[in-house]
Amino acid sequence: MHNDLDQLLQTANQIILGKPRQIRLAVCCLLAQGHLLIEDIPGVGKTTLSHTLAKLLGLNYQRIQFTSDILPADIIGASIFNAQTHSFSFHPGAIFNQMVLADEINRATPKAQSALLEAMEEHQVTVEGKTYPLPAPFFVIATQNPSHQIGTFPLPESQLDRFLMRIELGYPDHRAEKALLSGQRRHDLIDSLPVKLPPERLQQLQKAVTRVHASDALLDYCLAIINYTRSSPDYHCGLSPRAGLALLTAAKAWAFMNQRDAVIPEDVQAVLAAVAGHRLRSGNTNSEAIVQPILSNVAVL
Amino acid sequence: MSINKNILIFLLTAIGLIVLPHIENLPPSVTGYFYLLLSWRFLGVWKPQWLPSKLMLLLLTVIGIAILYGLHEGIFGRDAGTRLFVTALGLKLLEIKSERDLYLIVFLAFIVATSLFLYQQSIFMAAYILVVCCVLLGTLVCINSNRSQTWQSLKTASEIVAQAIPMTIVIFILFPRVEAPKWMYFNDKHQARTGLSDNMEPGAISNLAMSDELVFRVQFTGAIPPSAQRYWRGPVLTHTDGKRWTQNRNGLSQKIDQPTFTGNAYQYTLLMEPQDKNWVFALDLPAEVAAPLRRNSHYQLVTSANPDKRTEYHITSYPTYNTGTITKDEYQEATQLPGPASANVTQLVQRLHGFDRSPDIFINQLLNHFKTEDFYYTLTPPLMQENPIEQFLFESHRGFCEHYATAFVYLMRVAHIPARVVTGYQGGELNQIGNFLDIKQAYAHAWAEVWLDQRGWVRVDPTAAIAPERIEQNINIDQQIARGIISFTPNTALAAVDWLKNARQLWGNVDYQWQRWVINYDNKNQSQFLSSLGISDLKTMIYWMADIIGVITAVLCWLLLRNPSKTVDPAVLAYQRFCKKLAKNGLIKKPGEGAKDFAFRAKRQLPEQATGIEHITQLFIKLHYGKQHGKNDLQQLNRMVAAFKGKR
């Protein structure tokens, strides 16, 4: 079972060079059935990462480029009058795909943003009183530019909360960048990628993740972290119960990826920056720095 | 310095409040010195560079020692000890370097707070100290929590105090009272109390000090005697040299007849405030006294208990009595004169039929003389140094109770009637709420006693004979009412201040109960109280204590064990032992570091122990976080930790 995962990670690492940890977190997010937010400047490989994952997982993939004039109907779909049948028929939008890349989500207006985010939360779309379920598995990778850039509508905290993780890719290191420059075109590589983990296997793994054991002691540690964020003056507002659930689920997925059947505090610590960073301080992109006081102050035992 | 500014301000304020009541108790040099250091430290909160250097601190210490030395008290005793602590506290304030110093200061401050009780035990003081201790505890809460909000800490501290109060009450009631040995009563030389003395010199005082200080309180079971019968008997003065009246110490233990009592008895509980002398002021005339009380031959009660302690006595008195015959010694004592009477005096006695008619008639004539002649009652009589009695009788005609009583007794003795001066207190203010009498120093009084055939010693109060219109106007109204000198029915003018009087009485009642039940709760009272609960001996008391402690423990256990996650996993204990062993190698686990990360770090630093560290860590993770583990895993972990060699 873990073999498939390892192979998947290995292949992905050959496409996106020098970012094993971010890839691992992205796969972890996938296993925990959460959505992923990648926040970084353009051109560091956000799209390549999501494209690679879609290809390796054999999911049908659609990219939505968010612009300031995008409308909810562009994302969800619309009913169009059919002259032959003299009736309206629903034309599903880009969201009806297993993996959706919402590129530059913070360039769109809040109205369009919320259309996507509602679909993410409910796994279904309601248009003109009719409900259409979204395909399963359903996974959204959204990318966003740092909010200080011109022409952005930063996502409100309530909507950031819907993303299980937020990761930053950052510039590749010297060696990785050189390999990138000297290597093949990424686009060609992606096209030739085989499916490493078919959707039904992915769903099996997702189910296995939920069976990972979290002991009482570990739950206490999670609670201690949550309480710390609520009482410490370092944080403007603490983690919500939903954030607590997200933290535990992500930690379980991380433990599962490390071939353990029980969560240990190190798993929580490994995913904490990605899970809690954007919930604690949305404006700051350096998640590691945000959670550093938690990691050093909350006692493990 | 890493100490939070808020904590410092909090602590300094608390300490300033604690020492505040000591201003009354300590010499100004010590309090001045202390508050100087405190304000210096306060400045230092904002301007740390202004804090004294080491050399300066040494100099300040020397000054402090010099101040203490200059007071010539040493370091033992109540006053000296308190001064030492206050000085030390002030100096320590300037030397806050680490958290440890804060703790030391807080504990010093608690000691200083306790020392306040050595000076005053009133309800106010207790409440004040409780509040201040709350603030001090708040500082501790502040130091120990990562919250630095003042109100939050104060709230936590008051919660702690509120939780401690029921426990304190239980221990206060049940824990055996330890009586301090005699040498521990610090006798302070400066503590002078006003009160009656064993001698009297009427002419020497021209202005009687009126003090509102409480002498004793009396609670009657049953009826309260009318004001005219409230004569509280103190020392009896029999010997005079013409000016000065003193007690005849030799005559105090002679054998005398038992008085016979008739009529109604008054039973009462008398709570004596701390005194210099061992006198107990009983209602005229006390009967049936039990140890430690004793009735001397002047029918005065004396106690063998320590008069410096507030004590409660149960006494029975009869207002009508007959003391029977008089002994020869008594007769001599009661007719003693400093010398032959002058012609003026003899003439007066003769005119009032002192020599030719019965004593009864003479007494009435004399009282009538005081009433009809131009005698005045004043608290500010002229000085009469030469021959006070004659000067009073024939010239000034002005005086207070002492003048009247001594003159009366002197004239009786000239007429060969046995007479003596009785001092004590007259009256008492009735507290209607608590139904008890307050007897204050201002009610001090002197009256006369004459011995009459068939009737024994009879009380005569010549002061009461003065005509009401000749009483000086500026005399305390309360006092006059209490003495029965003037009387009036409450009118509308007084009704306005009625509520004020009520409030005062209510407070007096609270204070009385506090004194009786809290301050005076000693060994004897405790055993009395406990036996009324059915706890008669030590064994039952221990059972009670054990039961109550058991109940409290059970409640606490339930509260704690309700949340099973709070219990400590034995695997954690073993792992902590393992961490301790590694700490000897300088490998200290950070609080936020997981076991696996720590093992990784430890293995790199101690490669030769790597397998041991790995095994222990894996087993611990399995036990503490795993889904399931074998029965012997815990034992194995314990064994492995025990076998693990920390040292390289």
Would you say residue A207 lies in a domain?
Answer: no
How many structural domains are present in chain A?
2
Residues A113 and A248 in one domain: no
Distance (Å) from the alpha carbon of B597 to chain A's nearest alpha carbon = 7
CB-based contact A264 B576, cutoff 8 Å: no
Would you say residue B544 lies in a domain?
Answer: no
Residues B410 and B465 in one domain: yes
CB within 8 Å of B108: residues ≥ 6 apart: B85, B88, B89, B92
Nearest to B185 by CA among B279, B308, B345: B308
Would you say residue B225 lies in a domain?
Answer: yes
d(C-alpha A58, C-alpha A199), whole Å = 7
d(C-alpha A229, C-alpha B336), whole Å = 93
- Side-chain half-sphere CA neighbours of B239 within 13 A: 10
Distance (Å) from the alpha carbon of B565 to chain A's nearest alpha carbon = 7
Distances (CA, A) of A279 to A274, A290, B162: 9, 10, 39
The CATH number linked to A242 is 1.10.8.80
CB within 8 Å of A294: residues ≥ 6 apart: A225, A228, A229, A272, A276, B592
Would you say residue A136 lies in a domain?
Answer: yes
Would you say residue B353 lies in a domain?
Answer: yes
Would you say residue B536 lies in a domain?
Answer: no
How many structural domains are present in chain B?
3
d(C-alpha B337, C-alpha B616), whole Å = 104
What band does B155 get if pLDDT is binned at 50, 70 and 90? Answer: confident
Interface of A with B (CB under 8 A): 213, 215-220, 231-233, 261-266, 269, 294-301
pLDDT at B490: 43
Would you say residue A264 lies in a domain?
Answer: yes
Q: Which member of A217, A262, A266 has the closest CB to residue B627?
A: A262
Residues B487 and B588 in one domain: no
Give A217's contacts in chain B (Cβ within 8 Å). 565, 569, 572, 624-625
Distances (CA, A) of B172 to A34, B177, B521: 61, 8, 9
Give A251's contacts in chain B (Cβ within 8 Å). none
Instruction: Say which range, B89-98, B283-292, B480-489, has the weakest mean pLDDT.
Output: B480-489
What band does B359 get if pLDDT is binned at 50, 70 and 90? Answer: confident
Residues B384 and B430 in one domain: yes
- ipTM of model: 0.84
Q: For residues B89 and B101, is the Cβ–Cβ distance under 8 A? A: no
Residues B77 and B217 in one domain: no
pLDDT at A219: 92
Give A230's contacts in chain B (Cβ within 8 Å). none
Residues A104 and A45 in one domain: yes
d(C-alpha A268, C-alpha A300), whole Å = 11
CB-based contact B591 A298, cutoff 8 Å: yes
Distance (Å) from the alpha carbon of A297 to chain B's nearest alpha carbon = 6
Q: Indicate if the pLDDT at residue B400 is higher than 90.
A: no
DSSP E strand boundaries for B381-539? 398-399, 419-426, 429-431, 436-440, 444-452, 456-460
Give the mean pLDDT of B503-515: 82
Distance (Å) from the alpha carbon of A255 to chain B's nearest alpha carbon = 12
Would you say residue B360 lies in a domain?
Answer: yes
pLDDT at B2: 55
CB-based contact B591 A295, cutoff 8 Å: no
Q: Which member of B148, B575, B627 has the closest CB to residue A261?
A: B627
The CATH number linked to A68 is 3.40.50.300
Instruction: Say which range, A140-154, B122-136, B609-623, has the weakest mean pLDDT.
Output: A140-154
Residues A59 and A130 in one domain: yes
Instruction: Say which range, B92-101, B126-135, B197-206, B529-538, has the weakest mean pLDDT.
Output: B197-206
Q: Domain limits at A266? A: 212-297
Residues A113 and A186 in one domain: yes
CB-based contact A216 B565, cutoff 8 Å: yes
CB within 8 Å of B524: residues ≥ 6 apart: none
What band does B571 get if pLDDT is binned at 50, 70 and 90? Answer: confident
Q: Domain limits at B24? A: 5-174
pLDDT at A158: 77
DSSP run (H or E) holding A10: helix A2-15
Distance (Å) from the alpha carbon of B143 to chain A's nearest alpha carbon = 15
pLDDT digits (tens, 9 = 90+) for A188-218: 888 888 888 888 888 899 999 999 999 988 9
Residues B367 and B292 in one domain: yes
Torsion of CA B21, B22, B27, B31, to 10 degrees: -90
| Residue that wins the pLDDT comparison between A179 and B565 | A179
Residues B258 and B134 in one domain: no
Give the mean pLDDT of A263-273: 92
What band does B192 get if pLDDT is binned at 50, 70 and 90? Answer: very low
- Report the mean per-residue pLDDT for chain A: 87
Q: Which chain A residue has the Cα nearest residue B627?
A: A213
pLDDT exceeding 90 applies to what percent of chain B? 7
d(C-alpha B369, C-alpha B467), whole Å = 11
CA angle A103, A109, A110 (to 5 degrees): 100
Q: Which chain B residue has the Cα nearest residue A300?
A: B592
Give A233's contacts in chain B (Cβ within 8 Å). 147-148
Residues B10 and B72 in one domain: yes
What band does B474 get if pLDDT is binned at 50, 70 and 90? Answer: very low
Q: Which member of A231, A261, A298 has the closest CB to residue B592?
A: A298
pLDDT at B203: 62
Distance (Å) from the alpha carbon of B593 to chain A's nearest alpha carbon = 6
Would you say residue A184 lies in a domain?
Answer: yes
Residues A35 and A143 in one domain: yes
Would you say residue B241 lies in a domain?
Answer: yes
CA angle B434, B440, B445 (to 5 degrees): 130
pLDDT at B38: 92
Q: Indicate if the pLDDT at residue A223 is higher than 90.
A: yes
Q: Which chain B residue has the Cα nearest residue A215?
A: B625
Would you say residue B259 lies in a domain?
Answer: yes
φ, ψ of residue B257 to 5 degrees: the values are -65, 150
- Structure tokens, A107: 């360039």
Chosen domain end from A181, A202, A223: A202
Residues A180 and A263 in one domain: no
Residues A33 and A153 in one domain: yes
Give the mean pLDDT of A116-124: 84
pLDDT at B495: 53
Residues B155 and B208 in one domain: no
Q: How far is CA B363 from the centre of its chain?
A: 45
Would you say residue A75 lies in a domain?
Answer: yes
CB-based contact B625 A262, cutoff 8 Å: yes
CB-based contact A264 B594, cutoff 8 Å: yes
| Residue that wins the pLDDT comparison between B515 and A220 | A220
Torsion of CA A178, A183, A188, A190, to 10 degrees: -60
Chosen domain end from A154, A181, A202: A202
Residues A235 and A190 in one domain: no
Distance (Å) from the alpha carbon of B29 to chain A's nearest alpha carbon = 44
Residues B101 and B216 in one domain: no
Q: Which chain B residue has the Cα nearest residue A298?
A: B592
Would you say residue B337 lies in a domain?
Answer: yes
Chosen domain end from A183, A202, A221: A202
pLDDT at A116: 85
Q: Number of residue pairs across A and B with CB atoms under 8 Å?
A: 62
CB-based contact B626 A261, cutoff 8 Å: yes
- At A264, which amino acid appears? I
Give A254's contacts in chain B (Cβ within 8 Å). none
pLDDT digits (tens, 9 = 90+) for A65-79: 888 898 888 888 888
CB-based contact A266 B597, cutoff 8 Å: yes
Q: For residues A64 and A113, is the Cβ–Cβ distance under 8 A? A: no
CB-based contact A262 B565, cutoff 8 Å: no
CA angle B594, B595, B599 (to 5 degrees): 120
Instruction: Say which range, A66-70, A292-296, B10-14, B427-431, has the weakest mean pLDDT.
Output: B427-431
CB-based contact A215 B624, cutoff 8 Å: yes
Q: Which chain A residue has the Cα nearest residue B574?
A: A301
Q: Which chain A residue has the Cα nearest residue B572?
A: A301
Preceding peptide of B292 cis, ω within 30°? yes
- Between the two ends of chain A, the Cα-to-Cα distance in Å is 32
Residues A142 and A7 in one domain: yes
CB-based contact A296 B592, cutoff 8 Å: yes
pLDDT at B189: 42
To probe the interface with A, which of B625, B627, B628, B629 has the most A CB atoms within 10 Å? B625
Give B576's contacts in chain A (Cβ within 8 Å). 301
| pTM of the complete model beyond 0.90 | no
CB-based contact A297 B592, cutoff 8 Å: yes
Largest CA distance in chain B: 125
Q: For residues A56 and A202, is the Cβ–Cβ distance under 8 A? A: no
Q: Indicate if the pLDDT at residue A42 is higher than 90.
A: no
pLDDT exceeding 70 applies to what percent of chain B? 88
Give A220's contacts in chain B (Cβ within 8 Å). 565
Give B596's contacts in chain A (Cβ within 8 Å). 264, 266
CB-based contact A301 B621, cutoff 8 Å: no
> In what order do the strands lie in the sheet containing B301-303?
B279-280, B301-303, B293-295
pLDDT at B62: 92
Q: Indicate if the pLDDT at residue B470 is higher than 60.
A: no
Q: For residues B140 and B152, is the Cβ–Cβ distance under 8 A? A: no
Give B597's contacts in chain A (Cβ within 8 Å). 266, 269
Give B575's contacts in chain A (Cβ within 8 Å). 301
- Report the mean per-residue pLDDT for chain B: 81
Taking 3-state DSSP, the helix, strand and coil percentages for chain B, each rounded to the nearest 5, stand at 55, 15, 35
Q: Helices then strands (H, E): number in chain A? A: 13, 9
Per the listing, tokens 């009695």 go with B389
- Side-chain half-sphere CA neighbours of A148 within 13 A: 5
Q: Indicate if the pLDDT at residue B128 is higher than 70.
A: yes
Residues B169 and B273 in one domain: no
Give A293's contacts in chain B (Cβ within 8 Å). none
Q: Which member of A261, A262, A299 has the closest CB to residue B592?
A: A299
Distance (Å) from the alpha carbon of A21 to chain B's nearest alpha carbon = 17
- Number of neighbours of residue B646 by Cβ within 10 angstroms: 16
CB-based contact A294 B146, cutoff 8 Å: no
Taking 3-state DSSP, the helix, strand and coil percentages for chain A, each rounded to the nearest 5, stand at 50, 15, 35
pLDDT at B265: 86
Q: Which chain B residue has the Cα nearest residue A228?
A: B146
Residues A160 and A255 in one domain: no
Highest mean pLDDT among A118-122, B391-395, B418-422, B477-481: B418-422
d(C-alpha B389, C-alpha B406), whole Å = 7
| Residue that wins the pLDDT comparison between B129 and A151 | B129
CB-based contact B592 A263, cutoff 8 Å: no
Q: Indicate if the pLDDT at residue B185 is higher than 60.
A: no
d(C-alpha B100, C-alpha A63), whole Å = 62
CB-based contact A265 B595, cutoff 8 Å: yes
Distance (Å) from the alpha carbon of B617 to chain A's nearest alpha carbon = 12
* DSSP secondary structure letter of residue B225: P
Residues A183 and A225 in one domain: no
Residues B412 and B470 in one domain: yes
pLDDT at B1: 43
CB-based contact B592 A300, cutoff 8 Å: yes
Would you say residue A234 lies in a domain?
Answer: yes
Distance (Å) from the alpha carbon of B554 to chain A's nearest alpha carbon = 25
Residues of B numbered 547-576 whose beta carbons fall under 8 angstroms of chain A's beta carbons: which are they?
A: 564-565, 569, 572, 575-576
pLDDT at B489: 40
Residues A112 and A245 in one domain: no
Would you say residue A176 lies in a domain?
Answer: yes
CB-based contact A264 B575, cutoff 8 Å: no
